[in-house]
Copies of this chain bind each other. A is one copy, B any other.
Amino acid sequence: MNIQDITQEINGYIEAENSDAIRIALAEVHPSDIASIIQNINPDKQSYLLDSLDPETASEVYFELDIDQREEIITDLDEEKIADIADEMASDDAADLIGELPEDTAETVLSKMDPEEAKDVEPLLLYPEDSAGGIMQSELVKVENDTNVRDSINWIRLIADDVEEFHGIYVTDNKDKLLGFIPLQKLIIANPSSSAQSVMEELEVSVTPYIDQEEVANIFKKYNIVTLPVISDEGILLGRITADDVIDVISEEAEEDIYQYAGLKEHLHPIYTPTYERIKVRSPWLLLTLVGELLIALIIIKVFEPTLVKVAILAAFMPAIMATGGNVGLQTTTIIVRSLGMGTIKTKQIFTLIASEMKVGLALGAICGILSAIIGILISYNEPQVLKLGLAVFLAMLSATLATSFVGVAAPIILQKLNFDPAASSGPFLTMFNDIFGSLFYLLIAMLIL
């Protein structure tokens, strides 16, 4: 049965207010498909559907819902039910859920949760959402260094139900200071009477909780690991981050960057997001850019009109100059943003980078400029000042690519220095900057030459 058919069936049960039937109908459906179904039904009924699920299923469905929608949906449930759902989640997920609730609700939910679970969740609420502490979970398996392998396995037997997925156990001293790690594949074949300390591997890498999640992702990439311990400044074991969390982080960050290029701050579903919402999210950047472009119009009218009246064909090359400058700037800023993200360049190399990119920009501008000048001369050969026009096109192309190469390097690096996302330098901002420079440089050069 496909999702559309199930959705139709569910819609029937919702009308009949038959939550048992809903639960039964969705028993064999994957949580992410249930999330799709929820997002496909009438927004007024979405909370009812989530509420109809048993807490365990609801806990698996919740994070498959779009981030904006789920906050609204969950807030409509009563706090007892939210607490039941949070109890079923791993501590990192429960902390994220509670972090998304209004403050009052969050406190009530925390107080209604199973005290054992709440104890795991509470410390996690202290860390920023996009930090190592924000994505780690408290549930893990640890033993003291003098525990032997047999007792370690017995300990696993005792707590196996509470810790969801683990691939090894952490070894600490008697003050909870992290000493090492024993992968299960090693523990399973170790001598039962050996001490944990003698079997463990030294840790290659660990992080502290306030490190940014993007840096955590880079560590997973660099070390090819599936789990990473989080420790305090004093070396106390606080939690662990697993590869599946990192997969989510990388997807989110990549998506964020891609949206930023288009001046969007979130995903807008082309069918399900209400039209009004889509217009509201998309218009600010458009209007901001438009202001810059209308400024161009103002300057052209006030300053360059006499030149344009004399040589109207100047206007013909404005699109070519703006597009070339814009494309070179986009290439440059993309290269710089990615290099910063991968850590292969440093912000203090700014002058080397500007020089290096402007050299390439100069070459690209020269190639495009010569080509445009030649074509310009050929197609307007009967104009009186055709050679001067060609020269103006060439020089304008050159200055536009130099200017956007400069800004393409400087803008992301300065943003990074100021702790903003360097990717914000691309997209509509770059288009606007480039259009202003491209068109005005060109007309200025033309006015001086002609």
Contact surface of A with B, Cβ cutoff 8 Å: 30, 32, 36, 64, 153, 156-157, 160, 165-167, 183-189, 217, 220-222, 224-226, 242-244, 246-248, 250-251, 254-255, 257-259, 261-264, 267-271, 275, 278-279, 282-283, 285-287, 289-290, 293-294, 296-298, 300-302, 305, 308-309, 312-320, 322-324, 326-328, 330-331, 333-336, 338-339, 344-345, 349, 352-353, 356-357, 359-360, 363-364, 367-368, 371-372, 375-376, 379-380, 409, 427-428, 431-432, 435, 439
Nearest Cβ in chain B — how far from A154, in angstroms?
Answer: 8
Contact B322–A32 (Cβ < 8 Å): no
Query: By the criterion CB–CB under 8 Å, are B185 and A165 in contact?
Result: yes
Residues of chain B within 8 A of A157, CB atoms compared: 189
* CB of A356, distance to nearest CB on chain B (Å): 5
* C-alpha spacing A352/B268, complex, angstroms: 15
Q: Which residues in B have their C-beta under 8 angstroms from that of A339?
A: 267, 269-270
How far, in angstroms, from A32 to B302 measured CA to CA in the complex? 57
Q: Could you write out 15 A-B pairs with CB less than 8 Å apart?
A: A221-B251, A246-B247, A259-B334, A262-B331, A267-B338, A267-B339, A269-B344, A275-B356, A285-B327, A290-B323, A294-B376, A297-B376, A314-B315, A323-B431, A330-B427
Residue of B nearest to A63 (CB): B224
In this complex, what residue of B is CB-closest to A365? B286
In the complex, what distance in Å separates the CA atom of A376 from the CA atom of B318? Answer: 19
Which B residues lie within 8 Å of A326 (CB)?
A: 431
Q: When the two chains form the complex, which single residue of B160, B167, B338 contacts A258, counting CB atoms closer than 8 Å? A: B338
| A32 → chain B closest CB, angstroms | 5
Identify the 6 closest CB pairs spanning chains A and B, nearest first: A254-B254, A315-B315, A293-B320, A243-B243, A184-B184, A300-B316
Minimal beta-carbon separation of A85 from chain B (angstroms):
17
- A129–chain B nearest beta-carbon distance, Å: 18
Which B residues are CB-close (under 8 A) to A357?
270
Min CB–CB distance A52 → chain B (angstroms):
22
Can you tell how many copies of this chain the complex includes? 2
Among B247, B270, B363, B364, contact of A345 (Cβ-Cβ < 8 Å): B270
Instruction: Return A243 CB to nearest CB of chain B, in Å.
Output: 4
A289-B327 contact in complex given A156-B185, A188-B188, A309-B312, C-beta closer than 8 Å: yes
Contacts of A353 in B (CB 8 A): 270-271
A380: chain B residues at CB < 8 Å are 301
Task: Beyond the given A262-B331, A297-B375, please list 12 additional residue pairs across the A-B interface where CB-CB is below 8 A.
Answer: A226-B244, A269-B344, A271-B356, A275-B360, A290-B323, A290-B371, A297-B376, A297-B379, A298-B379, A301-B313, A309-B309, A327-B428
Give A308's nearest chain B residue, CB to CB.
B312
Q: Are A313 and B324 in contact (CB under 8 A)?
A: no
Q: Which of B255, B293, B435 contacts A338 (CB 8 A)?
A: B255
Q: How far is the CA of A166 from the CA of B188 in the complex (A)?
A: 12
Could you say which of B297, B367, B427, B432 contacts A316, with CB atoms under 8 Å apart? B297
Chain B residues contacting A435 (CB-CB under 8 Å) are 319, 322-323
Bound CA–CA A265/B175 (angstroms)? 52
Contacts of A379 in B (CB 8 A): 297-298, 301-302
Chain B residues near A246 (CB, 8 Å)?
243, 247
Query: Is the pair A271, B349 in contact by a Cβ cutoff of 8 Å?
Result: yes
User: A37 CB to closest chain B CB, in angstroms?
Assistant: 13
Contact of A308 with B319 in the complex, beta carbons under 8 Å: no
Cα A283 to Cα B279 with chains together (Å) = 36
Please state if A244 and B220 are interface contacts (CB–CB under 8 Å): yes
Q: Is the CB of B375 within 8 A of A275?
A: no
